[in-house]
Amino acid sequence: MNKADFDLNNPLEATLKLMLASGRFPHAVILEGGTVAERLTLAKKLAAALVCSAGKAEAPCGVCSHCKKAIADSHPDIPFFTAEDKPRAFKVDFVREIRNNAYIIPNEADKKVFILENAHTMGTEGQNAILKILEEPPSYVNFIMLCSSKSGFLPTVLSRATVFTIGEAKAEESDENRAAAVEAATAIAKSVAAIDDIEIVKAAAVFEKDAKLLKSALPVIQEVFAAAMREKYNAPDGGEEFGSLPEELARKLSRRALSDLIEACDKLMLSVRMNANHNLMLTALCTTLRKAVSK
């Protein structure tokens, strides 16, 4: 393994690697949790992969000039901004500088990747300022925002970024609750594998009067799709409790469809945490699933 590469035995890093390889990586991500060093190390791996000149499936190769400069923290297209971990330490002046810099095309790579350490310490003014570029960023720009907890961000900022949690501790749940979530998620995955709109609606009906089950099942649904994506790249890891479903999904769905489903689950889980309307959530889930099977 090269120094910049991802640890495929780590579920989060394996998922990020697959998303990068699919070419459907979000323009803005938030890395929360873990230690300062863990967040920064992962951010640097992502940045190296995004500027790497090797093919998407090989990035980060660790040997091209872009990877070498990224590893050495000397790449001109990976601007790094940091602040102390205290309220309002990430000044609005930083954000204005970032916005101005973002509209300058990359010097060497095809991408310009901004790493913002302790981004959660932006005040409301700073977050509203960065929101403007998160809404309509130049096509060559990616943002990697690091924080101890995403709770410091405004909902509007969270809605325009994909959140990944390092070392996320799974909430304690009873075997009965886990079994119910796996059963519901498996039904959803089977309906998607069947490429059948009616079956998708039937499978989602179990959530109509059970918001708690939807909340428990969404991460499990994402687990199934992530396992399928790993199958797609001949890197199966985990997902044994779903039997042959990941393999079947990998055969029937494109990489783009699986990537869209994984990202959509993140958005839906965020909406659940923000207490979005349950009926709208169900509609969004069904719409997302039906779009995936139509591709």
Residues 141-190 pLDDT 10s: 999 999 988 888 887 888 888 889 887 544 445 667 888 999 999 999 99
Are the beta carbons of 115 and 80 closer than 8 angstroms? yes
Q: 226 exposed, middle or buried (CB, 10 Å; 0-12, 13-18, 19+)? A: buried
Query: Is it true that domain 11-166 has CATH number 3.40.50.150?
Result: no
pLDDT category of residue 52 using cuts at 50, 70 and 90: very high
DSSP lists the bridge partners of residue 115 as: 80, 144
Q: Decide yes or no: CATH 2.30.130 for domain 175-294.
A: no
**What percent of the chain is modeled with pLDDT above 70?**
93
pLDDT digits (tens, 9 = 90+) for 283-292: 988 988 888 7
The residues spanned by each domain of the chain are 11-166, 175-294
- The 10s digit of each residue's pLDDT in 234-280 is 665 556 778 889 999 998 998 888 878 887 887 787 677 667 788 88
CA dihedral 174, 179, 181, 182 (to 10 degrees): 140
Q: Please state, in angstroms and rounded to a whole number, the distance separating the CA atoms of residues 184 and 180.
A: 6
Specify the pLDDT at position 237: 55
Given this model, what pLDDT does residue 170 score? 44
Mean predicted lDDT score pLDDT of the chain: 86
